[in-house]
Amino acid sequence: MTQENQPVSGEPVPATPMTELEVMIKESNLPQTKAQILLTRFNHYFGLAAQREKQLETLKVTDVTQVAEMKLADELRKASKRDRTAIEKVRRELNDENQAEIKIVNAIAKVLTALIEPLETKAEQIAKFAEIKAKEEKERLQGERMAALAEYGYTGTQDLAAMTEVEFEAFKEGLRVVKERKDEEAKAREKKAL
């Protein structure tokens, strides 16, 4: 323990039960190693606070001539301020360590994710090979059939790939007949117009 953390009277800090700190740490469910770090870094401040509180309770200043008591109170104030500053420093250090830990955990997770995602995608492609091939074949057949019907002016959204070859040929023949009829009607109208 450093000199600044000693009670003003110079007496050693008595070992005090860590009940308040232990309860806080236990309720946080921290891993044992982190809990031990917190106990080590903060526990003695509970003892110092208790001792300084006890010293302040015994100080009674009722007269301006009690210079020694006022001086002791000022020393206790300065010591308490040093403790508060030291506690804040420890808090910042621990937070910085936690931030560094969070950053490295995130960086490691990011690297591992970048390694694993392509493996997952490749495995999915292998696992769904038949499904992917069937989808590609359906898209190819849909495109071919749409191209075959373009000369008949077909622009519909019907699932042509789902049709059997016989059904498609019948559909195509129907469109051909309708187009021929429309063409004949258009020629007849032109002749009539002349």
- Report domain extents, the chain: 3-98, 129-193
149 and 175 Cβ atoms separated by less than 8 Å: yes
Rounded to the nearest 5 percent, the helix, strand and coil shares of the chain are 80, 0, 20
Percent of the chain with pLDDT over 90: 60
| More confident: 7 or 143 | 143
Measured CA to CA in angstroms, residue 37 lies from 33, 41, 72, 94, 117 at distances of: 6, 6, 33, 9, 37
* Amino acid identity, position 176: R
Closest CA to 66 of 58, 51, 79, 9: 58
Residues 1-58 pLDDT 10s: 444 455 555 555 555 455 678 888 888 888 989 888 988 898 888 889 989 999 999 9
Residues 151-168 pLDDT 10s: 998 988 999 999 999 999
- What pLDDT does residue 22 have? 81
pTM score of the predicted model: 0.52
- What pLDDT does residue 1 have? 42
